[in-house]
Amino acid sequence: MYKFIITILCQPGTREKILERAPAAQAATRAEAGCLSYDFFTCTDDPDKLVFVESWVDEAAHAFHMEQSYTKDFIAYHEQFHQSLTFETINPAA
C-alpha cells in the first residue's frame, strides 16, 4: 500500500475556494481502480489548513492518478492559494 498525507496551509480566506472543487476531484479519484481512499479534512485548530489523506494499492496507481487531467486541473487550481504544502508518506506503525 502507498499512503500519504498532504497538508496545505492556505492563504488567509482562500480555503473555501479549494473546498468548492475538492468534492469533484474526490469523486473522480475514488473511481480509479487503484484508489483505496481519498479524503480531505479541515483543521479545527487552524481555519486556513486543509489535510488530504490518500491510500493507493501501490505507487504505480498513484502515478497513474497524477497523470489524469482532473488531477492536474485540481492541483493547478489550488496551488495559487497555497502558503505551503507538505507531502508526507506514511506507513502503519508496527
Rg (C-alpha) for the chain, rounded Å, is 13
Contact at 8 Å (CB) between 78 and 18? Answer: yes
pTM of the predicted model, to two decimals? 0.90
The pLDDT, as a whole number, for residue 8 is 97
On whether the CB atoms of residues 10 and 70 are closer than 8 A, the answer is no
* Among candidate residues 93, 89, 68, 92, the one with its CA nearest the CA of residue 6: 89
Q: What residue ranges define each of the domains in the chain, with the CATH number in brackets?
A: 2-90 (3.30.70.100)
Q: What is the mean pLDDT of the chain?
A: 95
Positions in the chain whose pLDDT score sits under 50:
none
C-alpha to C-alpha distance for 65 and 72, rounded to whole angstroms: 9
